[in-house]
Amino acid sequence: MADVFISFIHEEEKVAQAVQALLREKLNKRDVFLSSDQWQIHAGEIWLDRIMKELTTAKVVILMLSKRSVERPWVNFEAGGAWLAKKAVIPACFGTLAKGDLPKPYSGIQALDLPSDAYYLVTSIAHHLGMLAPPPFFSPDAELDALESAISEIATP
């Protein structure tokens, strides 16, 4: 089971995958859960049961929030489950949604904007997992550049 669960909508999967890659590289964490990762949910598994199990065992839940996803039931469902389970919930805004524009109840949680707050995301997760934060990273950086690219693709459909 993973320490970190990333909640996202299917249309924005590339951004979630870029965040997963960033965390794997910067924190040396292989256990970052994405429900769309074929190596994490296998054929024959009951998908909803696996999501519940991963949410239950995760220590941190990252909500990938855009103007499109913040309105979607699935992200809200996973966010509510994480909040009720007293998990660290990190709203990660991107695209045209900024942390200052988050609706309630998200606006009551310390949020961040991607890609500009990518290092803040990594250090916040390290904090919640009881790890040392990695040294700062700046562009050019392969994972940061991939995140910026994924976000720009989503912003211009």
DSSP one-letter string for 18-64? HHHHHHHHHH----EE-TT-TTTS-TTS-HHHHHHHHHHH-SEEEEE
Which residues of the chain are modeled with pLDDT < 70? 36-39, 155-157
Answer left, alpha or beta for residue 24, where phi above 0 means left and psi between -120 and 50 means alpha: alpha
* pTM score, whole prediction: 0.93
Are 144 and 85 in contact by the 8 Å Cβ rule? The answer is no
pLDDT of residue 47: 79
Residues 6+ apart with CB under 8 A from 98: 113
pLDDT of residue 138: 84
pLDDT of residue 156: 54
Are 4 and 33 in contact by the 8 Å Cβ rule? The answer is yes
Examine residue 140 and say whether the peptide bond preceding it is cis (omega within 30 degrees of 0): yes
Closest CA to 51 of 120, 113, 2, 13: 2
Q: Given the DSSP bridges, would you call strands 4-7 and 32-33 parallel, antiparallel or unpaired? A: parallel
CA distance 109 to 69: 17
Topology adopted by domain 4-155: Rossmann fold (3.40.50)
pLDDT digits (tens, 9 = 90+) for 15-27: 999 999 999 999 9
Closest CA to 34 of 46, 50, 49: 50
